[in-house]
Structure 1
Amino acid sequence: MIKDLGWKVGGAQGEGIDSTQEIFALSLFRLGYYVSTYRHFMSLIKGGHTNGKVRVTSDLTGHHGDDLHILLAFDQETINHNFHELVAGGVLIYDTAIKDASVPENDKVNICPVPLTEMAKEAGSPIMKNMVSMGVTAAIIGLTPEDFRSVVLDKFGSKGDEIVESNIAAIQKGYDFYKENFSAQLELPARPVLKPERLYISGNEAVSLGAIAGGCRLLAQYPITPATEVMYQIIKNFPQVGGTVVQAEDEIAAVMMAIGANYTGVRSMTATSGPGFSLMMEALGLAGISETPLVIIDVQRAGPSTGLPTKTEQSDVYTMMYGSHGEIPRIILTPRSVEECFYFTMEAFNLAEKYQCPVIVATDLYMGMNKQTISSIDYDKFMVNRGKLISDEQLAELEKGAFKRFDVTAEDGVSFRSIPGQKNGRFVAMGNEHDEVGVEMEEPELRVKQMEKRAKKLENFADLAGVSYVGPENAELLLVDFGSITGPQREVYEELTAEGVSVGHLSLARLLPFPAAEIAPYITNAKKVLVTEMNSHGQLKNQLRQFINGDHNKYESCLKYSGDPFLVNEIYAKAKALADSLKKEVTL
């Protein structure tokens, strides 16, 4: 019995790779398995190599897995790029329609040429080769064509019974052909007890659901990979709650619309990626100085500039923490799982209104665009907190023009805000420095008071735990990460723990306010700190050095910036080497 099963399909973009991956993953999900997916694709509509991987397991994971057991190749490039990933005993299925197919010599891998396109034509259309391939896969892993029927019904049921049955027939053709011509078999992991409360969604889908649950009723966005899916999902669901989506002419307009809507009392947000986030810098400062709530989703991709639009990275750390001229309070949340994409986005709207400042939810392409099984999300965990909204009764006690929107006497730095239309609640939310009422001014003493007032907002922030930790209290080796790295790094932690290594795993839930007090004891106790992140400068490691006093020589980086996500073995190799070096020090 294998621990998990890795399956991958590859071909040219526009050849149905995404739909083939989705059919397989969703079918296995409905059978009760846990699945994690990864889509590798290029910035092209058609042409160029693309592939989709599915990891099938008996339990929750946060990673698409290192091992590959079945490779389904629709073209030669798929063999060229992915054959080396197949483990001993793995299976290569390739379409005999590939002219002069070339397969590397490897007597440990089962080679299975199958006339996928030819059988698809016999079933009714060459586009059904993805269904033929499902039948071949089913024959290898002990499933039947009927195990795919529910997904086929969902996908083609509206087109009539004849189309449904032709697709099932295509699956059967592939199944029968493999059974008649090949004998290699692979076992699926143990099938878990089917839990109907599970979900199969991506980080972007979870963000959109979290926004709606958090009370968002306006999304202003300019489409940009990999954040566009957030807009698509909200468009799909907003009609149920009376929300509005505005496709702005650019990212500057989008963020300004979100700021304006929040000013009027409507919970609003925008979603973008690195290039669009860069364009929002001045507006970020406007939200800060005018103390207007704002939620921004940054689905990070590989930069700089246009960079690699369809590849993943975590290189916006500096921009999120320090972007925009001047100094403003801001909150940066870093969900470490698809579930947290939901909960953190939902909570972001409370935080934005409670502290009257920008809140950035930082995900990345890997987490945002790839689906996986998660536990059911709990909408009842959320309670709306609109912060210091002044009531009509409180305003009625004031004289006209006496409302101090930016009152510097507030001990927590957060003043009461009004909503346009409230009598005696009028004020100007401007980008210039201003006095307590909101009138533009340049007096040094008043300027200092307003800056100090805003700076106080997050001094005692305790609304969301800054880190989570597993491991012994005084672990010698400390693994640190944030965001989507938490999934694969947790597997490294578990493997090292099983080997008897004194190791702990610390993952950050937020970058600002930086949780230095929560992190410091673990850093102090550790002999070596391995910070794993997807950028080339070690941006998180540098923040740890800045915010936490101590020996800077104990920090090590595990970096990746190729655009591809980390494999578990890449992190393990670095962590294991550090663990071995610590063991040698003790021996000496």
Structure 2
Amino acid sequence: MISQLSWKIGGQQGEGVESTDRIFSTALNRLGYYLYGYRHFSSRIKGGHTNNKIRISTKPIRAISDDLDILVAFDQETIDLNSHELRAGGVIVADAKFSPTVPEGIDARLFPVPITAIAEELGTSLMKNMVASGASWALLGLPIDVFNKAVEEEFGRKGATVVEKNVEAVARGANFVLELAGGPINELQLEPADGKQKLFMIGNDAIGLGALVAGCRFMPAYPITPASEIMEYLIKQLPKFGGTVIQTEDEIAAVTMAIGAAYGGVRSMTASAGPGLSLMMEAIGLAGMTETPVVIVDTMRGGPSTGLPTKQEQSDLNAMINGTHGEIPKVVLMPSSLEECFYDTIEAFNIAEEYQVPVILLTDLQLSLGKQSSELLDLNKVQIRRGNIATDAPAREDGKLFKRYEFTADGVSPRILPGQKNGIHHVTGVEHDEEGRPSESPVNRKKMMDKRLGKLANLKVPNPIHVNAPHESADLLIVGMGSTGGTIDEARARLDAEGITSNHVTVRLIHPFPAEAFKAEAAKAKKIVVIENNATGQLADQIKLHAGCADKIVNVLKYDGNPFLPAEIHKECKGLIVHGNV
């Protein structure tokens, strides 16, 4: 028996690939397996090749696998594009309708199953996804009752007849392939899972849940890939807790509405991707100038312009750090796991209110849309910190307003919510004095700039870098961000097995950069390898700017729209050693 395998299904977008993957992986989750998924899809509603890949394991995993054990194909294009990933002796389950063939040089066992024909016999070709799922499940030799339960959950709202038809489709697919293969395939039999309950969701859902738990009660947003699922999650959940989601006419309206609500005392957020964040920059500057706390999620995708809307990239760092004109304090956080998506979203709201700044939560497409397993979240870890909110404003002298922007030792002024007695003050995007009145005084200008920019001098963020450093002196320090963390760890395990010592740092606080913490880890390594899904090495540039180490840094960049695989990072890092560059 094996401890893990990889399964992929592919076809034309809109013909059931997504639902097949969803039911298949849900059933595996019910058994207690750890899962990690990657979805390759086109930037259109229907048509174009799409595939979903799921890695199944008895142990925690946080990376896509290099190879593939089972490929389910609804068309020949799926075989042609993906069969190269199959390990020797891998399996292809294909719809017999298109007379499937295995490309020359591919060592794979082909099982043609009349997937569409069986579905049509049962009443509709739409059920071919269930026929294909049943065939896959049968080859793994897993209990069919668990799968049927997942089918019931998926289709139960459509009535008993629909459920029965889909269960029959599963059985027909399973029986047909078992007859072809002579029973379940021994090499594909998974070791039993631990059976423990696990969460299974995408990063965007974890962000939405984190916002809900943080006390966010208003989200204005405009749909955009790959951020829309955050809005879709909160549309369903926020009204249950007295909150509201508004789909705005554009991203400018979304961010300004979020800022307005936050000024009114409501924890508010919006979410978008690179093009949307470009439109929000002026308003983010307004939040910085008016010291209004607001949380903004940027789910990075391929750019520039419309770019690759449905593909992986990590190229928004420079924009998130420097995109606003002028100079304001802001915080840019980047979670690297499903759990961190949840906890970091809560922390983003806390930081925004404690320091009265805009906080950008930065993710990438793979983390936002990749479905993965997680241990149950611990609500005992959750803290809500609302910062310096004035609850007892002193009576005003004649003509005097509340000092909303009062100069204080730490730069954080008392914040008062609208409607509170004695709290009247000006709010404006131009430079202002302590009461908010416009001011062009050079002395005031310098004091206000110093006050705002100095607020983050005492910023405290839990684990600004995530460190996995077993070696006091290592050949390599491998550095990444976002979804690359688990991939780097797998590559490191292979390096260590070959006698190449490596430590690992995932940077979680992108801005302000945690220079001192990073320097301490950089000093332990001969070379620093920075792994990024962009073309210009934006994270490496931040390291050089704030921590130095330029002579030790090697860039490993990938910007073809696909995430890194463990084998790619292993190859690049090993090459440094083999070629004597360390």
Shorter-chain TM-score category? Answer: over 0.9
Match of 2:552 among 542, 548, 554: 554
* Partner of residue 63, structure 1: 63
CA contact (8 A) 1:529 1:555 kept: yes
Distance 2:488 2:233 in 1: 29
Give 1:161 deviation, angstroms.
Answer: 2.4
1:334-483 equivalences under 5 Å are 334-392=334-392, 394-396=393-395, 401-408=400-407, 410-471=408-469, 472-483=471-482
Cα–Cα, structure 1 residues 581 and 3, in superposed 2: closer, same or farther, change >3 Å?
A: farther
Contact 1:204 1:369 in 2 (8 A): yes
Distance 1:382 1:396, change over 3 A: farther
Matched AA of 1:436: E
Change (3 A) 1:21 1:358: same
CA drift at 1:442: 0.6
Contact 1:141–1:187, Cα closer than 8 Å, also in 2: yes
Pair 1:532 & 2:531 matched: yes
Contact in 2 for aligned 1:74/1:95 (Cα 8 Å): yes
Question: What whole-Å deviation, never above 9, does each CA across 1:319-376 have from its counterpart, x for those lacking one?
Answer: 0111110111111111000110000001111100000001000011111112111011
TM-score by length of 2: 0.97
Match of residue 288 from structure 1: 288
Q: Distance in 1 between matches of 2:399 and 2:271?
A: 38
Query: 1:145 maps to which residue?
Result: 144
Amino acid at match of 2:554: E
Contact 1:199 1:375 in 2 (8 A): yes
CA contact (8 A) 1:145 1:175 kept: no
Deviates more, 1:277-286 or 1:59-68: 59-68
1:289-333 per-residue CA deviation (whole Å, 9 max, x = no partner) reads 110001000011100000011111100000011111011111111
SS at match of 1:476: strand
CA contact (8 A) 1:330 1:357 kept: yes
Taking only the aligned residue pairs, the percentage that are identical comes to 48
Aligned match of 1:302: 302
Shift of 1:168: 1.4
1:243-294: CA deviations, max 9, x gaps?
0111111101110000111111111011000000000111111000110001
Find the aligned partners of 1:427 and 1:64 in 2 and give their Cα distance: 53
Find the aligned partners of 2:79 and 2:36 in 1 and give their Cα distance: 22
Q: CA-to-partner distance for each residue in 1:444-477, whole Å, 9 max, x for gaps?
A: 1110000001111111212322112112122221
Asked if 1 retains the 8 angstrom alpha-carbon contact of 2:300 and 2:314, the reply is: yes
**Residue aligning to 2:193:** 192
Q: Partner residue of 2:28?
A: 28
* Cα distance between partner residues in 1 of 2:562 and 2:548: 33
In structure 2, the residue matched to 1:130 is 129
Does the 8 A contact of 1:336 with 1:509 survive in 2?
A: yes
CA distance in 2, matches of 1:446, 1:456: 15
SS of the aligned residue for 1:195 comes to: coil
Listed one character per residue, the Cα deviations across residues 215-259 of structure 1 (whole Å, up to 9, x for unaligned) are 101001011111111000001101221001111111011100001
CA contact (8 A) 1:403 1:437 kept: yes
Q: 1:332 corresponds to which letter in structure 2?
A: V
Question: Partners in 2 of 1:417 and 1:180 — Cα distance?
Answer: 71
- Aligned residues of 2:396 and 2:402 also touching (Cα < 8 A): no
What's 2:160 paired with? 161
Is residue 102–residue 108 contact of structure 2 (8 Å, CA) maintained in 1? no
**Is residue 35–residue 55 contact of structure 1 (8 Å, CA) maintained in 2?**
yes
Distance 1:188 1:425 in 2: 68
SS at match of 1:56: strand
Query: What one-letter code is carried by the residue in structure 1 that aligns with 2:110?
Result: I
TM-superposed deviation, 1:401: 2.4
Q: d(CA) in 1 for partners of 2:447 and 2:214?
A: 33
Distance, in Å, in 2 between the alignment partners of 1:139 and 1:259 is 53
* 1:398 to partner: Cα distance: 6.4
Query: Separation in 2 of the partners of 1:549 and 1:293?
Result: 32
CA shift at 1:430, angstroms? 1.0
CA contact (8 A) 1:478 1:523 kept: yes
Q: Answer yes or no: is the 8 Å Cα contact 1:492–1:572 preserved in 2.
A: yes
Letter of the 1:72 partner, please give it: V
Looking at structure 2, the residues matched to 133 and 519 of structure 1 have their Cα atoms a distance apart, in angstroms, of 49
Amino acid at match of 2:495: L
Letter in 2 for 1:569: A
- Do the aligned partners of 1:140 and 1:186 also contact (CA within 8 Å) in 2? no
TM superposition score normalised by structure 1 = 0.96
Over residues 173-222 of structure 1, what are the superposed CA-to-partner deviations in whole Å (9 max), with x where a residue is unaligned? 111111212244433432231112x2001100000000011110100101
Aligned partners of 2:106, 2:241: CA distance in 1, in Å?
58
Query: How far apart, in 2, do the equivalents of 1:463 and 1:272 lie?
Result: 23
Deviation readout 1:137-188 (Å, 9 max, x if unpaired): 1221112432311111111222332222221111111111112122444334
Cα distance in 1 for residues equivalent to 2:332 and 2:157: 44
Asked whether the 8 Å contact 2:484–2:564 carries over to 1, the reply is: yes
Check conservation: 1:400, 1:424, Cα contact below 8 A: no
Other structure's SS at 1:459 match = helix
Residue aligning to 1:503: 502
Where structure 1 has 5 or more consecutive residues not aligned to the other structure, the ranges are none
1:112 counterpart residue number: 111
Q: Relative to structure 2, which stretch is displaced further, 23-32 or 138-147?
A: 138-147
Q: Per the alignment, do residues 535 and 133 of structure 1 end up closer, same or farther by CA in structure 2, a change over 3 Å counting? A: same
Q: Hey, what does 2:235 align to over in structure 1?
A: 235
What does 1:68-83 correspond to in 2, within 5 Å?
A: 68-83=68-83
Does the CA-based 8 Å contact 2:225-2:310 persist in structure 1?
yes
SS in 2 for 1:297: strand
What is the CA deviation profile of residues 110-132 of structure 1, one whole-angstrom value per residue up to 9, with x for unaligned ones? 11111111111223321111111
Is contact 1:528–1:578 with CA below 8 Å preserved after alignment? Answer: no
Deviations 1:488-525 (A, max 9, x none): 11111222223332210011111112100000122223
Structure 2 residue 573 is matched with structure 1 residue 575: yes
Taking a change above 3 Å as real, the CA distance of residues 79 and 349 of structure 1, as seen in their structure-2 partners, is: same
- Inter-CA distance 243–398: structure 2 relative to 1 (3 Å threshold): farther
DSSP 3-state at the match of 2:466: strand
Instruction: Report the secondary structure of 1:527's partner residue.
Output: strand
Structure 1 match to 2:487: 488
In the alignment, what sits opposite 2:520? 521
* Deviation for aligned residue 1:109: 1.1
* Local SS of the residue matching 1:406: coil
Deviation at 1:581, TM superposition (A): 4.0
Matches of 1:22 and 1:105, distance apart in 2: 32
What letter matches 1:407 in structure 2?
Answer: E
| Residues 1:396 and 1:248: Cα distance change in structure 2 (over 3 Å) | same
Instruction: After superposing the two structures, state which structure 1 stretch, 374-383 or 450-459, moved more.
Output: 374-383
User: How far apart in 1 are the matches of 2:398 and 2:553?
Assistant: 59
Task: Give 3-state SS (helix, strand or coil) of 2:207's partner.
Answer: helix
The whole-number CA distance in structure 2 between the counterparts of 1:558 and 1:439 is: 50
